Amino acid sequence: MTYELRTYTATPGKLDALMARFRDSTIDLFVEHNMTSLGYWTPVGVPDVLVYLLRHEGDPKANWAAFGADQRWIDAKAASEADGALTASIESLMLDATDLHPIAGAQ
Structural domain spans, the chain: 2-96
What is the average pLDDT across 23-51?
97
Residue pLDDT, tens place only, 79-88? 999 999 999 9
93 closest CA partner among 36, 16, 8: 8
Cα separation of 95 and 102, whole Å?
14
pLDDT band at 107 (very low <50, low <70, confident <90, very high): low
Specify the pLDDT at position 105.
61
pLDDT band at 4 (very low <50, low <70, confident <90, very high): very high
- Helices within 1-107 (DSSP H only): 15-21, 27-32, 60-69, 71-80
Cα separation of 3 and 80, whole Å?
27
Counts of helices then strands in the chain (DSSP H, E): 4, 4
Q: Right CATH number for 2-96 from 1.10.10.10, 3.40.50.1460, 3.40.50.360, 3.30.70.100?
A: 3.30.70.100
